[in-house]
Amino acid sequence: MQSVAGTKSAVAPAMAARPLAARPKAVAAQAAIARPSFAKRVAQRGLKASRVESQRVVVVRAADDKVVVIGLAADSGCGKSTFMRRVTGIFGGEPKPPAGGNPDSNTLISDMTTVICLDDYHSLDRNGRKEKAVTALAPEAQHFDLMYEQVKALKEGKAVQKPIYNHVTGLLDPPEEIKAPKILIIEGLHPFYDDRVNDLVDFRIYLDISDEIKFAWKIQRDMAERGHSLESIKASIEARKPDFDAYIDPQKKKADMIIQVLPTQLVPDEKEGKILRVRLIMKDGKKLFDPVYLFDQGSTVSWIPCGRKLTCSFPGIKMFYGPDTYYGEEVSVLEMDGQFDKLEELIYMESHLSNTSAKFYGEITQQMLKNASFPGSNNGTGLFQTIVGLKVREVYERITEKEVVPV
């Protein structure tokens, strides 16, 4: 079966839904010429027409079969797990590892989504990396051929036997069966590194955490929760840095949306990562989603929402929105510096945002309140992760032409 869902020429739903009579005459004429063979193909394969394009008909798989692939790239310890909980929560169901499987599985399955961790495609286990003196970020420590074959197979609706990298033992465990979900999320270090894998991804997200903040979060987790020493955390960050710069960071250029987390500008020399300046960088002109805007699309807006309608203690909140360029591409940027005092008052800010992909007034605030215990819920990380989660839903709906009922 053919699929155009992974290409940039993916069908615009508005066009697909447009009746022939409403289309320009020349296009309708081409459609008439193309119709017999097309109808034959539809009958033979159970396909449906989606677009008539200059003398040829592009056919997509029946909407029921489509697997939408979402990629999330970030370094370790940058909040991927938290982000995934926010995204999958939008689709409902509790994400769980495959039932009855390996207790150290990295996979999370819920009603509509399956999240696979690309660490499972490490070709070298912990000992192998030590022997070859390479980090887990190096391309030679990944099995990109298998990653490509399996993501492709899942996208085609087939089940795969995916390896498991066991983070407890540092070994590669026997594989687990993964069935094709509606939404496949591939998260990890290299979702966009290999062009073949990258081309299979419908929507690309990159979490860009600045060194200072990454360090603060790592200390918080690895010292407090995993008993590592400050020195060992510093050494591990330093050891990974050259490969991070060479292989992981450049992937952000390919992302559709980037969540950039920086130290605040509201408090001079705040380095503990308690108050954050978070930027949502959204590529313009994409067919599968619309960038969010504040007040007026395309304008440059600075806004301090604190006052009678939004309670702010020191240092307050500063919002920014405007057009920009990112590695030579046009983007829209939405920025939030500071943090909320009362999460329920977020509704005030939400009411000034447009193109959020929320299905009802207050959906963002509702999601944020539901996940209030997650890290980052009082700042731009939680807010923008929630918005990106709604964009994942929008992308899914545009590709499949199916509506997701909000949970």
Ligand X SMILES: Nc1ncnc2c1ncn2[C@@H]1O[C@H](COP(=O)(O)OP(=O)(O)OP(=O)(O)O)[C@@H](O)[C@H]1O
Tokens at 87, concatenated: 């995204």
Contact 154/178 with Cβ under 8 angstroms? yes
Single-letter amino acid, residue 117? C
- Among 79, 143, 2, smallest CA distance to 371 is for 79
DSSP H or E segment with residue 209 = strand 203-209
Q: Output 191 or 376, the one with its CB closest to ligand X.
A: 376
The one among 128, 139, 375, 406 contacting ligand X by CB under 6 A: 375
- For the bound state, the minimum distance from the C-beta of residue 13 to ligand X, rounded and expressed in Å, comes to 33
Beta pairing partners, 60? 48
Q: Name which of residues 214 to 233 contact ligand X (CB under 6 A).
A: 217, 220-221
- For the bound state, the minimum distance from the C-beta of residue 170 to ligand 5RP, rounded and expressed in Å, comes to 5
Helix, strand or coil, per DSSP, at residue 358: coil
Binding partner of 189, given ligand 5RP, ligand X, none, CB within 5-8 angstroms per partner class:
ligand 5RP
Q: Does 371 bind ligand X (CB under 6 A)?
A: no
The one among 70, 72, 74, 346 contacting ligand X by CB under 6 A: 74
Q: What is the DSSP string of 76-89?
A: TTSSHHHHHHHHHH
- For the bound state, the minimum distance from the C-beta of residue 10 to ligand 5RP, rounded and expressed in Å, comes to 29
Give the per-residue contact string, 77-116, with ligand X (x = CB under 6 A; - = no).
xxxxxx----------------------------------
Give the per-residue contact string, 88-127, with ligand 5RP (x = CB under 6 A; - = no).
-------------------------------x------x-
Which region among 71-79, 126-134, 304-312, 358-366 touches ligand X (by CB under 6 A)?
Answer: 71-79
Contact 316/267 with Cβ under 8 angstroms? no
Contact 91/110 with Cβ under 8 angstroms? yes
- Among 347, 355, 261, 259, smallest CA distance to 305 is for 347
State the pairing for strand pair 329-338/276-283.
Answer: antiparallel
Binding partner of 136, given ligand X, ligand 5RP, none, CB within 5-8 angstroms per partner class:
ligand 5RP
Q: Output 124 or 294, the one with its CB closest to ligand 5RP.
A: 124
Binding partner of 81, given ligand 5RP, ligand X, none, CB within 5-8 angstroms per partner class:
ligand X
Q: Name which of residues 165 to 184 contact ligand 5RP (CB under 6 A).
A: 167, 170
Helices (H), 54-135: 80-91, 126-132
Contact 233/97 with Cβ under 8 angstroms? no
CB atoms within 10 A of CB 383: 27
Q: Does 209 bind ligand 5RP (CB under 6 A)?
A: no
Q: Output 167 or 253, the one with its CB closest to ligand 5RP.
A: 167
* Cis peptide upstream of residue 13 (ω within 30 degrees of 0): no
How far apart (Å, rounded) are the C-alpha atoms in residues 105 and 111?
Answer: 18
Those residues whose C-beta lies under 8 Å from the C-beta of residue 14, and which sit 6 or more positions away, are none
Q: Does 259 bind ligand 5RP (CB under 6 A)?
A: no
Number of residues that bind ligand X (CB under 6 A): 14
Binding partner of 339, given ligand X, ligand 5RP, none, CB within 5-8 angstroms per partner class:
none
Interacting residues toward ligand X by CB under 6 A = 74, 76-82, 217, 220-221, 375-376, 381
Interacting residues toward ligand 5RP by CB under 6 A = 76, 119, 126, 136, 167, 170, 188-189
